[in-house]
Chains A and B, each alone.
Chain A
Amino acid sequence: GAVVSQHPSRVICKSGTSVKIECRSLDFQATTMFWYRQFPKKSLMLMATSNEGSKATYEQGVEKDKFLINHASLTLSTLTVTSAHPEDSSFYICSARDRGVYGYTFGSGTRLTVV
């Protein structure tokens, strides 16, 4: 079945630095990917929709200059958290639209801790 590989699974960074998270579709072409963040004991909050070859569409309230999304190829989308602060600490997860019966394939998630 469809697989989305997400890296890194865990990252700790210092305040003020930037962190890049990658999501790669391994056996299918993902023209659209979705990026979510999830706080402890909360549900997934959609941050943005990433479209291959065009600008991402951000949800209301999500800072596009802080959360940079690049979808340069049909198999790779990246999320860069710029100038990270402790409040950016969260679980980030990507999802790609696939053609299978399940509809969406999720990455395994990235636990970001900003210290």
Chain B
Amino acid sequence: GQNIDQPTEMTATEGAIVQINCTYQTSGFNGLFWYQQHAGEAPTFLSYNVLDGLEEKGRFSSFLSRSKGYSYLLLKELQMKDSASYLCALMTGTASKLTFGTGTRLQVTL
């Protein structure tokens, strides 16, 4: 089986930087995704990591360490619209199954 853990809730201030961690245990690792999800909507793709290191895309960056089973999503220059749930997801196996972590609800405040 798989364990994919994230903090349940986080709060940060507008304009600040926040790091959302994801730790996992799995076999057949094929890649790690980060998604943003607003309530009642489909997840929106943010980033994909398959090799160790940092992937930067505008205000969002994602880091992966496969040996440590660890990833984080870094959000810079936080905006109120960034208040949402952030989901870490693992792609595994020959079927490229996508399994989601517990999710982190981020609240951005003034």
Contact = CB atoms under 8 A, between A and B. Distances in A.
A49 B98 CA distance: 10
B53 to A, nearest CB: 18
Which of the four size classes fits the interface of chain A? 20 to 34
Interface stretch (A14-22, A64-72, A74-82, A91-99): A91-99
B99 interface: yes
Contacts of B99: 46
Interface residues of B, number: 22
A43 B101 contact: yes
A109 B97 contact: no
Interface string B83-96: 00101000100011
Contacts of A41: 105
Interface in B1-59: 1, 31, 33, 40-43, 45, 48
B92 to A, nearest CB: 11
Given A42-B103, A103-B48, A34 B97 contact: yes
Nearest to B89: A44
B100 interface: yes
B66 to A, nearest CB: 18
Contacts of B100: 36, 43-46
B102 interface: yes
B3 to A, nearest CB: 13
Given A43-B100, A103-B45, A109-B40, 19 more contacts: A32-B95, A41-B105, A42-B102, A43-B87, A43-B103, A44-B43, A45-B100, A46-B99, A49-B97, A57-B95, A60-B1, A95-B98, A102-B48, A103-B33, A103-B48, A103-B98, A107-B42, A108-B41, A108-B42
Interface of A: 32, 34, 36, 41-46, 49, 51, 57, 60, 91, 93, 95, 97, 101-104, 106-109, 111
